[in-house]
Amino acid sequence: MKSKKLGRPYKDGEVVIKQGDPGDCLYVIQEGKVEVIDESGETEIKLAELGETEFFGEMGLFEKDVRSCTIKAMGDAKIMTIDKRNFYKTIQKDPSLAYRLLEKMSNRLRETNKKLRDR
């Protein structure tokens, strides 16, 4: 049965964002999974898997820098883009929209710290 989920469809292995590319959107996974890959070394390192309702690309909202990782679809996935301008306009009126973003970014920082400690 055809999925009625919103967002843009991606096929297995399709690149959603490419490390080193410019970008300023936030992405929210509506369906399926993606993998977060670090391509800075000679070999690709898989850093994480993200699933439904999780977001990525948040650094692009706050920094004028290139994408820090590559994101690829794992199987068929549907992903929604959140425009930077819309997002800023909305949090200007309703800052609480950023609570979840801050919470997740804090979680990710905590996980990174833990990984560094466990090395």
Partner 1 sequence: MKDESTGTLELKDGSNIAVIGGGPAGSFFTYFALDFAERYGLDIDIDIIEAKDFNCTGPPGCNRCGGIVSESLIQSLSAEGIVLPSNVISRGIESYTLHLEQGTTVIETPLHEQRIASMFRGSGPLGSEDTEQLSFDNYLLELCKERGAKTISGRVIEAERETDGISIKTKEGLEKKYDLVIGAIGLNARTLKLFENICPSFKPPKTTKTHICEFYLGEERVDEYFGDSMHVFLLNLPNIKFGALIPKGPYVTLVLLGSNINKEIVSAFLNAKPVKECFPEDLDLKSAMPCQCYPSINMDGAKSAYGDRVILIGDSASSKLYKNGIGAAYITAKAAAKTAIFEGISESDLKRHYQPVCHDLDRDNLVGKLIFITTTVIQKSAILKKGLLSMVINEQSKANHKRLMSSILWDTFTGSATYTDILRRTLNPLFSINLIGHTLKTLLTRTNNKKNEKQKVRTTI
Q: Which stretch binds partner 1 (CB under 8 A): 14-22, 66-74, 89-97, 107-115?
A: 89-97
Q: Minimum CB separation from partner 1 for residue 16, in Å?
A: 12
DSSP string, 33-65: EEEEEE-SSSS-EEEEEE-TT-EE-THHHH-SS
Name the token pair of 99.
């609570």
Long-range contacts of 106-113 (CB under 8 A, 24+ apart): none
Q: At which residue do the structure tokens 């959603």 appear? A: 16
Site string for partner 1, 20-59 (x = CB under 8 A): ------x-xxxx--------------------xx-x----
Task: Check binding of 90 to partner 1 (CB under 8 A).
Answer: yes
d(CA 43, CA 32): 25
Interface size with partner 1, residues (CB under 8 A): 27
Binding stretches for partner 1 (CB under 8 A):
3-8, 26, 28-31, 52-53, 55, 80-83, 86-87, 90, 94, 96-97, 99-101
